[in-house]
Structure 1
Amino acid sequence: MARTCSSCGTGIGPRGKTGRCRPCHTAWLLTDPEMVAKRAEARLAFNTARRMDRPHCAECGIEVGLKSKWCRPCARSKFGRDPEVRSRAAATLAEKHRTDPAFHEQHRARVQAAMDRCKQDPAFSAQRREHGRRYGKHNIELTRSPESRAKAGKTNSARRLAHIPPGYRAYYRELIKKKLPATERARLAIERYHLDRAHALAAQAAVFLQRTSSVYRCDEGGQPCKTGKFWRRGTATMTDADLVQRAIGLGWDPDAWRRVPGTSSPHASPSSTNRRASAPEIRA
């Protein structure tokens, strides 16, 4: 016996379980109150589980893409305030102006067009003057306060000296008195930074080796000297690099601190007044 739809009476297949044709069944799903409530509940449960799996912005907490840490506004705000990012952006823009004459001319044309508009459009000029009267004095007073100047100085230094380690910027400024070029000052500061890191690493290696033997600072002839540039271990006189390699060969791991949660680098930049890493005590 042929089956018919219970709603419209058209013929349906023998395998249908709902007793309705496809159009009538779709209309029933969309209009029946009980089915509408069930579908809404299932949709809410599915979307809730999916939202819980999605990452959220670390700043404002809204949902972001699967590979993102911040939403777009927070990312722009975060990286826009980063001195290193701003320094790289400024260097890139300056290089673009220097190497691309077409880009430079387009920029000049835009600036000139804005200036011409100020001269030709009285309403625009009046608006600029009104903004100046309303906000200019207040902004000038804010920017000229001692606190604002100090904050601006720190920000400018962090941006312009982003290529210099923070603990060595005072040393970089001291080199200005010697009237050295900026590139030479940067080279000396970075060399001092790497030298101090090597001293600090060697001092840690010495502490490790002191568990089994006598290790202390010495001069080139092997005589004990707290400010010496060499190390004495047993009867051997070593440099910083040799001492580190010997400690690594005996099982010391200089990167073990990286695997301990909540620890910071033991090679943090020292202050300008204490750049040399403290050496272990000399053992007799």
Structure 2
Amino acid sequence: MLENIPEIFLSITDKEFRILVAIENKMKFYEWVPIEEIVNFTRFDLKEVEYLLSKLAQNKLIHRNDKTYEGYRIYFEAYDLLALNAFVKRGTINALGEIIGIGKESIVFDATGGIIDRRVIIKLHREGKSSFRHVRVKRETTGERRHLSWLYAARLAAKKEYDALVALYPQVSVPEPIDNNRHAIVMSMAKGQLLAHSRLDEPDWYLDEILSQIKKTYGLGIIHGDLSEFNIFVNPEGCEIIDWPQFITPSHANANEFLKRDIDNVVSYFNRKYRIQRDIEEIIKTVLRKNKNMVYH
């Protein structure tokens, strides 16, 4: 299904998108959106709505329930298309490429965007699909609408990551944030290759570069919170750090613990692979040293 998203996107009509928006909107109030509500929202007649729903169901973009009444809801594939449609209408993306990464909590597509057809990536968050671990939503926000947990989790994770990139770029080596809609982020493609898959000729220099980025990040009031060799890209100019939805600020109750874990993960990796020895406590002291440019978010 995921591999077919570009083809399905091109085949979806404006009226079908209107149906998806109607269901998305009314899911705030219903676990299964009654067909009457879809008719009222779209102002299409019932027969046309039934036809459009059948087409969307064929593409597995909506789910139907008829146990107590005829109702519908969307899942991630439809949510993906709604975000992509928003990006296209804004001119953020012009073409969607192949999937270049699949993780437990995100899917990444290659794309081009802007007036110069710049190569970018689209990151689609998937937090709510398997767990609600990294995104805390207060009970009063969702009320009793637990069926919306996946939607809120993914949307809030994307918003949080986008906000982090906006706060850090360009002072810190992170992807350039370009746009955000729903659970999706458009950003520049990270340069180089993952640290975990690299063999460095000057590992000491790269370790210093990464620790420098950690210090700069802390100076801007942000701690990554899940840093490792799997979310650091290295290139001839230095490094680039990705994956920020779980970031915390230095005012967090466990900030020092998360900061130490980030540093320990990086230093331990360089020790295992390159036998480089560094004093973690001294590094932490250097990062924590007062910075007149400190900003708390």
TM-score by length of 1: 0.24
TM-score by length of 2: 0.23
Q: Which has the higher contact order (CA 8 A, sep 6+)?
A: 2
- Structure index of larger Rg: 1
Structure number having the greater strand percentage: 2
Structure number having the greater helix percentage: 1
